[in-house]
Amino acid sequence: MPERSGKQSEKQSGKQSEKQSEQRRLAVLKTYKLYVGGAFPRSESGRVYEVTDASGRWLANAPLASRKDARNAVVAARKAFPRWSGATAYNRGQVLYRVAEMLEGRREQFRAEVADAEGLSAPKARAAVDAAIDRWVWYAGWTDKVAQVAGAANPVAGPYFNLSTPEPTGVVVVFAPQESSLLGLVSVLAPVLATGCTAVVVAAERAPLPALSLAEVLATSDVPGGVVNVLSGRVAELGPPLAAHGDVDALDLTGAGPEATALEAEAAGTLKRVRRPRPDEDWTADPGTGRLLWPLETKTVWHPMGV
């Protein structure tokens, strides 16, 4: 018994000194950066903007990305497309599952960031982060099944083998939901990746920090550089050049807000595939397959059967 209490007091005094040093110690603040082509650059414009929590308290500065950053992000996404779309579906599934594993290890960080970003209570922030992790798992399981659900062997009337298979459309620009900084973002991004598309994400304008931190998770999760590129900044500034860009194949306008209609019209110039924003999307609900199917093209192969 005496021995035990001795240990306890030792432990207590250790805690006290820890606390004291914590009081003396000045926290190291994080410099948030963009994520483009697997690297973490500042905005080429050299600009930042202030990010605050729901009560207006300053949290950090975020890079204010420019149209040139957007251009660089599209170049990176295009460059990454052949390898990512050419990887086996099994491999993509492993990579997405790895994202879930890595995110699981950083739950505390994201709980805090999401709580600050969205003004959520601790339990609600916890639920949002856990759901975001499980969403990666959901889509990890889809990579090698989407073709089995969306493809078909077609019984054409003739001596032909006829097979329809889905293929990823290419580079997708994702305007992340404004109100759900992590769960909403994962819900729109993960399905795009699962299909084999590469993405340029415009993070939630007022709450970009969880997205910029998610980039750090992606960078250490076997996701090849350039497959996901994350920009923070103004939809009004980044949207038009991305919507008009000739090397972008699709736009997810979920978080584009009042700009959505103009961007959709801009996208018509190159006939981009567009997913319109839907009012009041519930990110906690069963995601279904809709977000998985929209960035796909169906390719049908005919081949004669004859000796």
Residues contacting residue 266 through CB under 8 Å, at least 6 positions apart: 239, 240, 243, 244
Asked whether position 154 contacts other proteins by CB under 8 A, the answer is: no
CB nearer to other proteins: pick between 102 and 248: 102
Please answer whether residues 79 and 37 qualify as being in contact, where contact means their C-beta atoms are separated by less than 8 angstroms: yes
Instruction: Find tokens 């994202």 and name the residue.
Output: 99
Please answer whether residues 34 and 42 qualify as being in contact, where contact means their C-beta atoms are separated by less than 8 angstroms: yes
Q: Comparing C-alpha atoms, which of 231, 225, 233 is closest to residue 200?
A: 231
Please answer whether residues 76 and 226 qualify as being in contact, where contact means their C-beta atoms are separated by less than 8 angstroms: yes
**Given candidates 35, 81, 97, 110, which one binds other proteins under the rule CB under 8 A?**
97
**Given candidates 148, 261, 270, 298, which one binds other proteins under the rule CB under 8 A?**
148
Contact pattern from residue 99 through residue 138 relative to other proteins, giving x for each residue in contact according to CB under 8 A and a dash for the rest: -----------------------------------x--xx
**Cα angle 12, 15, 18; round to 5:** 155
d(CA 256, CA 84) in angstroms, rounded, equals 26
Question: Least distance from C-beta 145 to other proteins, angstroms?
Answer: 6
- Binding-residue total with other proteins (CB under 8 A): 23
Q: What are the start-end ranges of the H helices in 2-157? A: 2-24, 67-86, 89-104, 107-118, 122-140, 146-150
Question: Least distance from C-beta 128 to other proteins, angstroms?
Answer: 16
Asked whether position 90 contacts other proteins by CB under 8 A, the answer is: yes
d(CA 141, CA 36) in angstroms, rounded, equals 26
Asked whether position 305 contacts other proteins by CB under 8 A, the answer is: yes
Asked whether position 306 contacts other proteins by CB under 8 A, the answer is: yes
Question: Least distance from C-beta 287 to other proteins, angstroms?
Answer: 10
Question: Least distance from C-beta 303 to other proteins, angstroms?
Answer: 6
Question: Least distance from C-beta 122 to other proteins, angstroms?
Answer: 23
Residues that bind other proteins (CB under 8 A): 89-90, 93-94, 97, 134, 137-138, 140-145, 148-149, 161, 289, 303-307
